Amino acid sequence: MKRKLFSQFMINYLMIFLLTLLVTLLAFVLLSFASSLISGSLAKSRYPASAIIKEDYSQIDASDVVQSGGGVQVVDKEYRVVSSHGLDTIGKDKLTVEEFTTFLIESKSKPYHYDILYQPQGEFWLIVTFPTSMRLDFSLVHNKEAITGDLMRAGSVITVVVLIYLLMLAFFAYIYSKITAASITVPLQKLRDGTMLLREGDYSARVDLRLKNEFAELQDTFNDMAARIEHEISLRRKSEEDRRRLILDISHDLKNPMSSIQGYVELLLEKSGMTKQERSEYLEIIHNNSKRANRLLTELFELSQIDSPEFSLKTAKTDICEFIRQICAELVPLLEREGFQYGFDICEENVFVLLDADRFGRILQNLAVNALQYNPPGTLVAVSLTVQNSQAVIDFSDNGIGIPDHLRDNIFKPFVRSDDSRNSKTGGSGLGLSIAKKIAEAHGGDLLLLPDRKKGSAFRITVPTV
């Protein structure tokens, strides 16, 4: 890639050079043509020395030259300035031979146009002077009468100069081509290396070009793409890990009751001489385990149903204050039977929300079940309802044992339980809080675990009012 770009740049620069030479030659031709077009209109062309010269210099009329901004001087054979009108660039009344010779030689280099003509009858030089408006001197003169040796030497020198010029141009074009190609190929190489790392699975690859041009935008796009891919891969791995854990948790929670049911059924079938009381105890164990397995399957079905795209709530405009009072009234007998204390603080005003009563009731029921399962008798359970920022805010709290710090961030994930051993006697399936949060979100609200509790735990349910 680098060689191809370098070669392309080299060809481009040489083409530009050839075009520049062509344009330069064309410019000289055009300048020559333009000069011929305007030469007739210039003052120096309208009043040449040949047009005003006379045998007697005293009869020369210099008025038109002077009015046009020029000057007329007459120098006799003794190199004296015997007549001067208008612009005077000689500045002396008499010249020496050396000074007059120098004047003639240097007249081409001064910013004036001199038209010098000698009058042999009058034996004087007529000098017509005009300020030069603009002049570009470039000419290549060839005389066929020149000596062959001189022509060869001059031609050789010109050829060598042209060759050196072309070599220098080619060298600079080569160097500049490499620099220009490197300014493109180096960033492309870094981007290619980053792309190859992504292809090989290194999603942490990033590119730092340290540029502020279009490559910087490409760098930012590449890094953003890599970051998104890394994030998506991380989410996919996490999702896969959660799926594996979910399958293990389901298998574990179903295996225990099913194994227990199978074991006690085999015992009932094989053991003879069993008393009626023993049989009743075994059947009670089988019945409890079957209810436990059925409860787990029901909650799994409910969780998958909520996650389904077809899931929808059957909402109705409901006074949530009255609704929460009814839920709390239903919880009172259960709390009293388990020896729990309770306190309710529900605002008296009517607060209306769009509510699926059956689904929303599950949130408080699941929170109550968790409070009863994990806390000792005597624990205080409190429920309050307020309105904040057009939302009904329901706080469900207790002063029990609280939630371990290592579980607080994952408490709403499926199968997360305070009891890591997953003992069926000390907790439920671990799906209750996950179901409750999804129901709250389906209502346009949320279920949060409030932080910074010194004792116990506090959950907050929010749902928008109407």
Q: Are the C-beta atoms of residues 187 and 16 closer than 8 Å to each other?
A: no
121-126-127 Cα angle (round to 5): 165
HSE of 280 in the Cβ direction (CA atoms, 13 Å)? Answer: 3
Count of positions (residues) in the chain: 466
Please provide the distance, in angstroms rounded to a whole number, between the alpha carbons at the two ends of the chain: 65
Mean pLDDT, all residues of the chain = 84
Q: Determine the pLDDT at residue 428.
A: 54
In which band, very low, low, confident or very high, does the pLDDT at 392 lie, cut at 50, 70 and 90?
Answer: very high
Q: Among 75-84, 86-95, 139-148, 168-177, which is the least confidently predicted range?
A: 139-148
DSSP letter (8 states) at residue 29 = H
Q: Determine the pLDDT at residue 33.
A: 77
Q: Are the C-beta atoms of residues 256 and 424 closer than 8 Å to each other?
A: yes
Distance of CA 210 to the CA centre of its chain: 14
How far apart are the C-alpha atoms of 219 and 210, rounded to whole Å?
A: 9
Sign of the dihedral defined by the CA atoms of residues 329, 335, 341, 342, in that order: negative
How far apart are the C-alpha atoms of 169 and 15, rounded to whole Å?
A: 12
- DSSP conformation letters of 307-322: HSTT-----EEEEHHH
Give the residue with greater pLDDT, 464 vs 424.
464
In which band, very low, low, confident or very high, does the pLDDT at 421 lie, cut at 50, 70 and 90?
Answer: very low
What are φ and ψ of residue 379, in 5° steps?
Answer: -70, 140
Q: Determine the pLDDT at residue 295.
A: 73
What are φ and ψ of residue 159, in 5° steps?
Answer: -65, -45
How far apart are the C-alpha atoms of 389 and 50, rounded to whole Å?
A: 104
Range 43-54 average pLDDT: 88
- Which residue, 149, 138, 120, is CA-closest to 53? 120
What are φ and ψ of residue 335, in 5° steps?
Answer: -65, -40
pTM of the model: 0.48
Distance of CA 406 to the CA centre of its chain: 38
Name 130's bridge partners.
113
Q: Is 444 exposed, middle or buried (0-12, 13-18, 19+ CB in 10 A)?
A: middle
Name 318's bridge partners.
353
Burial of 167-177, coded b for 16+ CB within 10 Å and e otherwise, reads: eeeeeebeeeb
Q: Among 127-131, 177-181, 221-225, 328-332, which is the least confidently predicted range?
A: 177-181
Q: Determine the pLDDT at residue 426.
A: 46
Three-state DSSP at 78 gives: coil
With a cut of 50, say whether residue 26 has pLDDT above it.
Answer: yes
Tokens found for residue 74: 């007459």
Sign of the dihedral defined by the CA atoms of residues 146, 147, 148, 149, in that order: negative
Q: What is the pLDDT of residues 293-302, one digit of tens each?
A: 887 777 777 7
Q: Determine the pLDDT at residue 424.
A: 47
Residue recorded with tokens 């005077």: 88
What are φ and ψ of residue 87, in 5° steps?
Answer: -60, 125
Q: Determine the pLDDT at residue 417.
A: 64
Burial of 279-314, coded b for 16+ CB within 10 Å and e otherwise, reads: eeebeebbeebeebbeebeebbebbeebeeeeeebe
Find the DSSP H helices in 200-315: 214-270, 276-307
